[in-house]
Amino acid sequence: MVKMSSIPTVKLSNGLDMPALGLGSSAQFGGYGHEATVCALKDCGMRLIDTAARYYTEESIGKAIKDSGIPRKDLFVVTKLWFTNMGYESGKKALQASLKALGLEYVDLYLIHWPVCPDGTADPVKCRQETWKAMEESYEAGLCKAIGVSNYEISHYEELKAMKCKVMPQAAQLEFHVMQDPNREIIKYCRDNNIVMMAYSPYAAGKAFALPKVKELAEKYKRTAGQIMLRWIVQHGIVPIPKTAKVERAKENAQVFDFELSKEDMAVLDSIHKESSVKICGAPS
């Protein structure tokens, strides 16, 4: 069993503490299992659980939370607004629907899932800005303790600055794994603007498990390949949110704070993208 104290926290710009490791739950890609989720919460010290309207797991997550017996105040629940509900009124309604599905009065972090607007949107920039205004108002009303975005590019953040938003995104999810450049511009931008990053697809949809350099380091540190990749993300100051439907993998994922990769080995992993590069996720349409 992993003690809760073994998973540290990172601080968002509004002072809210967020666990430095979470559990993803994308069911349509085989990433949700009720037993594994309850185990992660109850037995592995996991407190951050990530879902989304599009994952169709919000009701399942709500049940897992109840079954775990973990007090709501000790959890950090993340969900996301799907692009078909972008807009001021539809955005607010979508959050209410997510809260109902989860069986919660608030979420800890609410994100815009993609910077994409519904088909036929006349002014996508205005649509994104109005959606963000709805997010800010939901934040002010206490329906979410923090707000952020997912898959945003620098230009999308600049749109928020142009509207003189009250609150800049406090967290951002993006695809981040050893098969991508860890120092690309969007990473630098988020750091410069005090936006805490969260890494989805931390294993590059499983492709990174076969990388020789990852295997070599797993053997060197006597860890699994998955633990090596998660630890690499953690040492970059980014919060990984791996998904799994397996109890044993959930336990493995939580065991990444009792060892450290050397500077030289971090550099080895940092360079993988130069030879083996891949992007897993693309914008919905």
Tell me if 51 sits within 8 A of 79, measured CB to CB. yes
Q: Residue type for 165, please?
A: C
> Active-site residue among 55, 110, 139, 200?
55
How far is 99 from 144, CA to CA, in rounded Å? Answer: 10
Active-site residue flag, 55: yes
d(CA 244, CA 36): 7
- Within 10 A of 40 (CB to CB), how many other CB atoms are there? 29
Listed in order, strand segments (DSSP E) in the chain are 9-11, 17-19, 22-23, 48-50, 76-81, 109-112, 147-150, 171-175, 196-200, 239-240
Angle at Cα 219 formed by Cα 43 and Cα 2, nearest 5°?
Answer: 10
Give the residue numbers annotated as catalytic, written as ranges.
Answer: 55
